[in-house]
Amino acid sequence: MVIVHGLFGMLDNWHNIAKKLSDEFTVLTVDVRNHGNSPHSDVINYPTVADDLLELVEDQGLSHAHFVGHSMGGKAVMELSNIHPHIIDKLVVVDIAPKRYKPGHLDLFEAMFSLPVEELSSRSEADEALKTKIPTDGIRLFLLKNLQRNPEGGYQWKVNLKAIRANYDDIIGDVQLNWPFVNDVLFIRGEKSNYIKDSDLDEIYEYFPNADLVTIPNAGHWVHAENPTQFVDALEDFLNA
């Protein structure tokens, strides 16, 4: 199983889920290009990330796998089903539809670009500096996981903010699917999230005719973090069917 994180995320975000699933599956968690410890690139869009995933699978000596993608990662694995469908057994898309979304991260970009990371002495200082622009504790904690200390002092962003901002229109854009993907697919959404609306289902079923939809209660967009038990149950039920 290959797990692909969302925007501003990293493979560490999925450590607990991967651990729960590791009794039944060999789990690979991925840092998408320009995120985590992966290389930086001027380009990040869904075809390039799908190609990266193909290269990863081939480098591991695998011919196919289950793929799980959250948010941006969900669009990446949908693109993978379009251009490299032969490497996918079952597909799980977490809280994202193939449509274009309105820009929802501009305030986060502004806050992160404005943070004088090279002058920081601690993460708590960074947290305090971001409070006025990002008042939600959980979002700040999520973003600050991207900070890493410089050996010579101060911090730097692990995430390639400049490239992600330059390619942001592609990231929020729709996934261009040329034909239906006929393998089994599970879409998982959070009950409190509006990322997958009922009005999106006709398009989803058009491109993924063998898809099912599960709504996880007491969870928003970060379904796997907000209700991990029922998320893992839904995942296991689908993959073991």
Percent of the chain with pLDDT over 70: 100
The confidence score (pLDDT) of residue 201 equals 98
Same structural domain, 86 and 124: no
Same structural domain, 85 and 23: yes
The confidence score (pLDDT) of residue 26 equals 96
Same structural domain, 203 and 226: yes
Same structural domain, 146 and 182: no
CA distances from 241 to 68, 185, 186, 237, 238 (A): 16, 12, 12, 6, 5
Same structural domain, 97 and 110: no
Same structural domain, 9 and 116: no
Q: What is the mean pLDDT of residues 34-56?
A: 98
Q: Is the pLDDT of residue 170 over 90?
A: yes
State the CATH number of the domain containing residue 10.
3.40.50.1820
Q: Residue 221 catalytic? A: yes
Q: Is the pLDDT of residue 152 over 90?
A: no
Structural domain that includes position 71: 2-101+173-239
Same structural domain, 87 and 139: no
Among 35, 66, 221, 224, the one annotated catalytic: 221
Judge contact between 29 and 11, C-beta under 8 A: yes
Count of domains for the chain:
2
Same structural domain, 156 and 190: no
Same structural domain, 31 and 126: no
Judge contact between 75 and 175, C-beta under 8 A: yes
Q: Residue 71 catalytic? A: yes
Q: Point out the domain boundary residue: 139, 165, 191.
A: 165
Q: What is the mean pLDDT of residues 50-60?
A: 97
In whole angstroms, what is the distance from residue 31 CA to residue 12 CA?
9
Measured over the CA atoms of residue 127, residue 102, residue 209 and residue 50, the dihedral's sign is negative
Q: What is the mean pLDDT of residues 214-221?
A: 97
Same structural domain, 80 and 118: no
Q: Point out the domain boundary residue: 165, 182, 204.
A: 165
Q: Is the pLDDT of residue 145 over 90?
A: yes
Average pLDDT of the chain is: 97
Same structural domain, 186 and 87: yes
Among 71, 81, 193, 224, the one annotated catalytic: 71
Judge contact between 111 and 86, C-beta under 8 A: no
Same structural domain, 128 and 146: yes
**pLDDT tens column, 88-139:** 999 999 999 999 999 999 999 999 999 999 999 999 999 999 999 999 999 9
